[in-house]
Amino acid sequence: MRKSWPQPIPSSRLDGLPPLREVAAAHGLLAKKSLGQNFLFDLNLTGRIARAAAPLTNATIVEIGPGPGGLTRSLLAEGARKIIAVERDTRCIPVLSEIANNYPGRLDVIEGDALETDFAVLTGGESPTRVCANLPYRIATALLVRWLQTEPWPPWFDRLVLMFQREVAERIVAGPAERAAYGRLAVLSNWRCETRILFDIPAAAFTPRPKVRSSLVELMPRAAPFACDAKLLSEVAQAAFGQRRKMLRQSLKSLAGSDAAGLLARADIDPTLRAEEIGIEGFVALARALSPPS
Ligand code: SAM
C-alpha cells in the first residue's frame, strides 16, 4: 500500500509560521460553540486590530482567548514587547507554544479561565499594560464589567481594545440620546472610560460565521472619574434600567423600597424622570446618595 505523506504547510510572509487555516486544520482545531470560538484567519484583519492597540513596542499586551493565534501573531509581528495570553482550550496550547518559540521571551501562554484570573497579579504592575482581544462573546460583558469595577482606579490597564458583537458595542458607547442602547453597561463604561467604536468587522470574516457583525471598541480609562462606589453605581443603574419605562420614583423601589423618593431628593433628581433621561452624573449622584454617610 502506498503511504501518503502530509503536504508541507506553506509559511506565511508575516512571520514564517504556517498560514492560520492550515495550522488549525493540522491541529484539529474545529471551533467549539461552547467556548465562543469564532476564529479570525485573515492576518491582514488581525493586523488591523493589532495596530488599533498601538503603540506596541513598549507595551505588555494581555490577550484573552488567543485560540489558534491569529491576533497573537499580528500583535507580535507589529512589535508588542510582551504578550500574556490566557486561553481556556487545551487544544490551542501546542499551537501557541509554536508561536512562542518563534518569538523567544515575548509570549507567555497561560492555560486557564479568564473569569478566574486576577489580571493585576498576573501582569505584576508592568506598565503600560493594555488588553487587546477578540473576546469569547459569552463572557465578554462579564469580563468588561469586572475590569470596569477594578480597584484601585486608575487600573492595571492603560487601554482596552476589544471585539464585541455590534449590538453590545452600541450598548457600551451609548449616551442618553441613544435611548434603546443606553443602560447599565453604558453607565459603567462611560463613568470610568472614554469609549468609542473603532471599526466594524463583517460576520464573514469569522470561522464559523456568526449571525451578526462585530465591532472593535476602545475604552480609555479616565484619570479621575467622578468619585463613587462602583458596586452601588452598578446596582442603582440595574434597578433604574430594570424598569426603564417607569419613572425613577417607581423603578428605584426595587432597590430603595419606600425610600426611593428620599433617595432621589438626596441626589437632587426629578423623581418623574426615567432612567434613560439622566446622564452619568445623575447615576453617580444616586450612588453617592445610597452610600452610608462616612
Ligand atoms: N483570538 C482568536 C481569534 O481571533 O481567532 C480566537 C477568538 S474566539 C472568539 C475566543 C477564544 O476565547 C477561543 O479561543 C476560546 O477558546 C477562548 N475562551 C473561551 N472562554 C474562555 C475563558 N473563559 N477564558 C479564556 N479563554 C476563553
Provide the whole-model pTM.
0.94
* Strand duo 60-64 + 129-134: pairing: parallel
Write down the CATH number for the domain with range 11-221. 3.40.50.150
Give the residue range(s) of CATH 3.40.50.150 domains in the chain.
Answer: 11-221
Q: Fold for domain 230-290?
A: Helicase, Ruva Protein; domain 3 (1.10.8)
Burial (CB < 10 A; 0-12, 13-18, 19+), residue 222, is: middle
Closest CA to 182 of 268, 253, 282: 282
Closest CA to 87 of 128, 135, 44: 135
Is any ligand 1 atom within 6 A of the Cβ of residue 47? Answer: no
Residue 243 alpha carbon to ligand 1 centre in Å: 33
Give the residue range(s) of CATH 1.10.8.100 domains in the chain.
Answer: 230-290
* pLDDT value at residue 6: 46
Each residue's pLDDT, cut to its tens digit, for the chain (294 residues) gives 454 444 555 667 788 999 999 999 999 999 999 999 999 999 999 999 999 999 999 999 999 999 999 999 999 999 999 999 999 999 999 999 999 999 999 999 999 999 999 999 999 987 899 999 999 999 999 999 999 999 999 999 999 999 999 999 999 999 999 989 999 999 999 999 999 999 999 999 999 999 999 999 999 999 999 999 999 999 999 999 999 999 999 999 999 999 999 999 999 999 999 999 999 999 999 999 998 766
Residue 245 alpha carbon to ligand 1 centre in Å: 36
Closest CA to 37 of 204, 209, 166, 168: 209
Residue 40 CA: which ligand 1 atom is closest? 5
Q: Hey, how many other C-beta atoms are within 10 angstroms of the C-beta on 115?
A: 12
Query: Can you tell me which residue has the cell 424622570?
Result: 273
* Strand duo 60-64 + 82-87: pairing: parallel
Is any ligand 1 atom within 6 A of the Cβ of residue 129? Answer: no
* pLDDT value at residue 200: 98
Q: For residue 197, give Cα distances in angstroms to 172, 183, 222, 285.
A: 9, 17, 17, 27
Residue 63 CA: which ligand 1 atom is closest? 1
